[in-house]
Structure 1
Amino acid sequence: MHILFRTKKMARVFDSQTLLVQVYGLENARLIMRRMSVLNAVPSLAEVPATPPERRHQLKGDRAGKFAVDLKHPYRLVFAPVGDPVPLLADGGYDLARITAIEILAVEDYH
């Protein structure tokens, strides 16, 4: 899958194991690298497991339109589908099999 980043700073941090550890701590840095490996390896969002350990899930409420995968509880890697327009199903839901690009937005505890 094609992966973009919200900011250049975030792209720089995610490109460096040392910076990931400095910013997010050792355990979250390791999990971020694993999740990024999965996201890079799959052709579409549908291929990202919805079961643990990744647990891809769609967010609701004020985070509607975004997705997340689990890191060290309570943190999540939050991202949004990219496309013009974003592929949708007839019922208005996301067509995960046709979402082939995402933008990484944050690592956060939104609970």
Structure 2
Amino acid sequence: MKIRFPDKACQELCNHHRNLVHAFGEEIARRICCMLSLLQAAPNMAEIPAKPPVSCTVSPASGKFTLNVGKTHQLEFRAANSPVAPIDDLSAVKEIEILGIIPTPAARGKQR
């Protein structure tokens, strides 16, 4: 799939391993790189597994996808051709936009 970024800062973060290591540590950076490679290699979103270890999920309300990249972070993205609407046909999603790397819900609850 083709991968886009919302801005230069997100693109610089995701496209340079040393930036990811600086921001998230070696282990999370490695997992982010693996997930980005998986997304780039897949012809469309229908090819991305919903089961572990990949565990791709999509929010029906927002149409945003997440991939777990460890216990504390998720890679969040959306279909580039459908920014807000729910996705009916995953095989039609051939271009995505990375929205960022966010804390998992469990990690968000621990932050205070």
The alignment's TM-score, normalised by the length of structure 2, stands at: 0.84
Match of 1:104 in 2: 98
Give 1:94's match in structure 2, choosing from 88, 92, 95: 88
Give 2:77's match in structure 1, choosing from 74, 79, 94: 79
Shift in Å, 1:85:
8.4
Match of 1:21 in 2: 21
When the two chains are superposed, the root-mean-square deviation of aligned CA atoms in Å is 2.1
Runs of 4+ in 1 over 2 A off after TM superposition: 84-88
- Give 5+ residue unaligned stretches, structure 1: none
SS of the counterpart of 2:63? coil
For 2:93 and 2:24, locate their aligned partners in 1 and report how far apart those are by CA, in whole Å.
Answer: 28
The alignment's TM-score, normalised by the length of structure 1, stands at: 0.85
Shift in Å, 1:94:
2.3
SS of the counterpart of 1:6? coil
Match of 2:31 in 1: 31
For 1:54 and 1:11, locate their aligned partners in 2 and report how far apart those are by CA, in whole Å.
Answer: 22
Question: Do the aligned residues in 2 keep the contact of 1:87 with 1:99 (CA within 8 Å)?
Answer: no
For 1:87 and 1:94, locate their aligned partners in 2 and report how far apart those are by CA, in whole Å.
Answer: 9
Shift in Å, 1:17:
0.9
Question: Do the aligned residues in 1 keep the contact of 2:76 with 2:102 (CA within 8 Å)?
Answer: yes
User: Match of 1:25, as an amino acid?
Assistant: G
